[in-house]
Structure 1
């Protein structure tokens, strides 16, 4: 099968993001440069620059890809509120174990804080859209309370994001299983 130019562009973009993940884990956020990413991806620096203006932009795109992939990788275990909460909790656990996401969260707080306290990133907007769509369906079946699905989804994002970013802080009190149990309880109560 012949590859189209667009397929090649996607493959190059994926190689660059994979290289960025590898650099981030191996070198830490402070030492990741576009040159290092290009070298690891086997492409020229201008090839990377055509897609992203700097290494922080590559890392932001990488985070979007990782977080969105975590959601898409887990199939919906059913319909309704309990199934949706189960999926959100499973995605949170997966993200808590994602080496790349945790590297940024714990070792690049200035970058992480942009998406925690200043503005929503692409992955957050995407997750709100995905969760809102499922919430609307759960509302139609009567398992989720009335309210604007996007507002409910945004609050679910805040609750879950807080559990992810603070998991290490409360680990002496809430181990992984307990954290997941309490997160599920909170989300279920909020959406009931």
Structure 2
């Protein structure tokens, strides 16, 4: 469910340092601008104005708009993944396959309906292309790590089939990432509710242990 920019910032200087307290303010301002006017019409000048800071302060941490948008995306996607992890931990006592699949599907829905994701898809979808064809981003790695832990624990209790949990996690990521990005474009006349039900069925069938016990 990728969906982040795995860039490398220049070393910050002056008052802008790692863990800078103003970062959240800038990311909030950038998010507001993205939602208001889209990626292509957002500028560092506009973000600085919204954040109440100078352009030079922003330039010391983000060399260009793309790197700033990348951090906005990473914060949004990471928040979704952390929320999924919290829900799964809270529901760990159920320990059944339907619950596990339900958490995956709920996370997919959270990505597909995220306002920042929708705005980027609408105004500059090319930003996502490197993380579909070239490399694994930070949020994608978070998803793989989370699923690997969950699937390993589930397999130990016979809830999912015995297999390399990381391999299962990667395959699930490939499936749900495609669903997030392409379901509307390729779904055709299939209603959204039906597509979601089929995704749930696909995941359950893929993960079910031998003999169907779960």
Q: State TM-score, norm by structure 1.
A: 0.87
5+ residue gaps, structure 2, are 1-16, 209-214
For 2:33 and 2:179, how far apart are their aligned partners in 1?
27
1:96 touches 1:102 (CA, 8 Å); kept in 2?
Answer: yes
What residue number does 1:189 align with? 205
* Larger Rg, first or second structure (1 or 2): 2
1:177 aligns with 2:190: no
For 2:149 and 2:170, how far apart are their aligned partners in 1?
12
Match of 1:9 among 16, 20, 34: 20
User: What is the total number of aligned residue pairs between the two structures?
Assistant: 187
For residues 85-144 of structure 1, the C-alpha deviation after alignment (integer angstroms, 9 at most, x for no partner) is 111100111111111112212321221111122211111111111111111111111111
1:166 aligns with 2:182: yes
What residue number does 1:130 align with? 146
What residue number does 2:53 align with? 43
Secondary structure at 2:184's aligned position in 1? Answer: helix
2:44 touches 2:55 (CA, 8 Å); kept in 1?
Answer: yes
What residue number does 1:3 align with? none
Write the mapping of 1:111-126 to structure 2, written as runs, cut at 5 A.
111-126=127-142
For 2:73 and 2:96, how far apart are their aligned partners in 1?
28
Q: Which runs of 4+ in 1 moved over 4 A?
A: none
RMSD over aligned CA atoms reads 2.2
Write the mapping of 1:28-177 to structure 2, written as runs, cut at 5 A.
28-74=38-84, 75-76=87-88, 77-78=91-92, 79-177=95-193
Change (3 A) 1:169 1:152: same
Q: Which has the higher contact order (CA 8 A, sep 6+)?
A: 2
Higher helix share: 1
For 2:63 and 2:146, how far apart are their aligned partners in 1?
28
1:81 touches 1:135 (CA, 8 Å); kept in 2?
Answer: no
Change (3 A) 1:33 1:175: same
5+ residue gaps, structure 1, are 1-5
2:131 touches 2:137 (CA, 8 Å); kept in 1?
Answer: yes
